[in-house]
Structure 1
Amino acid sequence: MLIDIGVNLTNSRFDKDRDDVILQAQLAGVENLLITGTNVLESQQALDICQQHSHLYCTAGVHPHDADNVSENYLDELTALAHHEQVKAIGECGLDFNRNFSTPDNQQRVFREQLALAKKLSMPVFLHQRDAFNTWQAILNEELNHIPGGVSHCFTGNLTELKACLDMGLYIGITGWICDERRGQELFDIAKYIPLDRIMVETDAPYLTPRNLRPKPKSSRNEPKYLPYVVRTLASAMKVDEDELINCSSTNAKQLFKLAG
């Protein structure tokens, strides 16, 4: 049984057929989905979807892109969401200095505040990082000992960054980026260094559609039903059996997020 730990199911590209996307995922062996919350509104929307499907879970948090726009009481709103049993982590939170849709100062403040919230609520964190590794790592090192774990979502870094994440005790989330021979070759080459007890798999749908899909779908929209293609490529890169990878990644997700079953 596969668990997709990162699906942007609140995205408008799923508005017309969201229930069918969930059904097709199940038919493909992707039993559980963790819907990503990227701001207070979308975290609430993610929870609303989960409350219609008992096998779905979600996160509640503020993506660094949205750090400039948080309300004065956003932490209270996240706290209220986090008390629901289907909310399993604080996030997506972190830093993104690649595009700086929010100022670096606000990104760091909101990141620290969400880590403090995770500490207060004793919840794991769902982490984002792009072009900000050193600052991100320094902030995490201050707080991770007080938080029950986290996952580096959609990891696309180099070997030095991978080893640093593992040294911090983080799980590593791998997406269809690894299926892209143009920009994902480095990730493919270093995946063998990820221990099986630290690996998780995700689609980040509707983004990062695996390039090895055959036949190539008419739509560019990624879906959780395509997660087996990520698993196949990742198993090859890690030089492990696909079934072993599925079992280990699912066990890891259940352990970190305290999922039923």
Structure 2
Amino acid sequence: MGKPKVALWPGGEGGLQIFPANGGFRGVFMPEKTREQMHLIDTHAHLDMPEFEGDLPQVIQRAKEAGVSTIMAVGIDPASCRKAIEIAEAYPNVFAIVGVHPHDAAQVGESELDGLKTLARHVKVKAWGEIGLDFFRNLSPPAIQQERFRQQITIAKELKLPVVIHSRSATQETIACLREEKAGDAGGVIHCFSGDAKTAAQYLEMGFVISIPGVITFNKAQELRETVKGLPAEGMILETDAPFLAPVPHRGKRNEPAYVRLTAEAVAKIRGQDISDVAATTTKNACRVFN
């Protein structure tokens, strides 16, 4: 028997309201009065980082006030993954994602991966990541990055978890690994996407969704804006990557989950839609991926 489930769908003034449902499934009840409100999901935030140590409760409250009902707290190594789960345990509207970032690939071996597999069985863990390849900085040797990437795809498939993919200066290598390891069987997210329409189409064809960051508000992100304009509605979700990459007008400052609303506004303007439509679509897509 697999681990019990906790649904991602938002509800209630205090975030997710969990109740027992059929067969032990733990679902979420959304009160009538909240159903017409806009709900956004920040699918990628590093809430464990020192930038949030002094005011995390306020950060999460500001997110709620901005219409961000759910936040995915992402780990990058065993210590940060444990912290992400602790935060998810403390806040009903926060869920966790565990895995090893390519920067840390050389510091993690089989025993650490086994430990993460145990953590991943926690009821509030929704995906395995962020994993992938980063040949821009090469803080771990490329060969080791690829080995850990492939290992973690296998683990995610074993645990029936979607994957959250980091790819920087390694697009073709990332796509090759995903195809060879049949990562589409797990499904998941292309984190912090900034590429062109052709690259997005390759990821979509494999069954992944494109996660749109605040970068879309930057002056030099015209190619990304053109890509987003043509994405199928079912192929996109939103993220902050907080505390990094704050959208305009906060660029250069600490990013936080509340700012995912600015990204939603930018996407709505680019696609000629109302923000409520973008919120509804991207939230539905995130729930499909992470549930």
TM-score (norm 2): 0.84
1:57-136 mapped onto 2 (5 Å cutoff)? 57-136=95-174
What secondary structure sits across from 1:203 in the alignment? Answer: coil
Which digits, 9 at most, give the CA deviation of each residue in 1:100-159, with x for residues without a partner? 010000100000000000111111001100110111101101233663311001001122
The number of equivalent residue pairs is 253
Name the CA distance, whole Å, in 2 between partners of 1:148 and 1:136: 15
Tell me the equivalent position of 2:45: 7
Q: 1:205 aligns with which of 234, 242, 249?
A: 242
Secondary structure at the aligned position of 2:174 is classed as: helix
Alignment of 1:236-255 (within 5 A): 236-255=269-288
**Residues 137 and 23 from structure 1, CA distance in 2 versus in 1: closer, same or farther, beyond 3 angstroms?**
same
Which deviates further from its counterpart, 87-96 or 72-81? 72-81
Residues 242 and 144 of structure 1, relative CA distance in 2, 3 Å threshold: farther
Tell me the distance in 2 between the aligned counterparts of 1:150 and 1:237. 24
For 2:272 and 2:107, the matched residues in 1 are separated by 44
Distance 1:126 1:243 in 2: 25
Q: Does 1:164 align with 2:202?
A: yes
Q: Are the equivalent residues in 1 in contact too, given 2:195–2:227 (CA < 8 A)?
A: no
Residue aligning to 1:25: 63
1:224 aligns with 2:252: no
Which residue number in structure 2 is paired with residue 256 of structure 1? 289
- Which amino acid is the alignment partner of residue 236 of structure 2? I
Aligned in 2, Cα 1:146/1:235: closer, same or farther, shift over 3 Å?
closer
TM-aligned CA deviation for residue 165 of structure 1: 1.1
- Alpha-carbon offset, residue 237 of structure 1: 1.7
**2:80 matched to which residue of 1?**
42
**Are the counterparts in 2 of residues 194 and 238 from structure 1 also a CA contact under 8 Å?**
no
Check the 8 A contact 2:131/2:152 in 1, yes or no. yes
* Distance (whole Å) between structure 2 residues aligned to residue 256 and residue 144 of structure 1: 17
Q: Measure the CA separation in 1 of the matches of 2:110 and 2:163.
A: 21
Q: State the structure with more CA Rg.
A: 2
Residue 58 of structure 1: SS of its match in structure 2?
strand
Q: Aligned partners of 1:235, 1:145: CA distance in 2, in Å?
A: 30
* Contact 1:119–1:146 (8 Å) recurs in 2: no
Secondary structure of 1:31's aligned partner: strand
The amino acid of 1:222's aligned partner reads N
Q: How far 1:238 sits from its partner (Å)?
A: 2.3
SS of 2:182 mapped into structure 1: helix
Q: Residues 30 and 146 from structure 1, CA distance in 2 versus in 1: closer, same or farther, beyond 3 angstroms?
A: closer
**Displacement of 1:169 after TM fit?**
1.4
Deviation string, structure 1 residues 65-111 (Cα, Å, up to 9, x no partner): 00010033122111111110110001100000011010000100000
Give the Cα–Cα distance (whole angstroms) in 1 for the partners of residues 157 and 247 of structure 2: 35
How far off is 1:24 after superposition?
A: 0.9
| Distance in structure 2 (CA, Å) of the matches to 1:143 and 1:239 | 37
SS at match of 1:51: helix
| Aligned partner (choices 215, 219, 240) of residue 177 of structure 1 | 215
Q: Which residue of 1 aligns with 2:20?
A: none
How far apart, in 2, do the equivalents of 1:75 and 1:101 lie?
19
Aligned to 1:102, what secondary structure does the other structure show? coil
Distance 1:33 1:144 in 2: 28
Which amino acid counterpart does residue 82 of structure 2 have in structure 1? Q
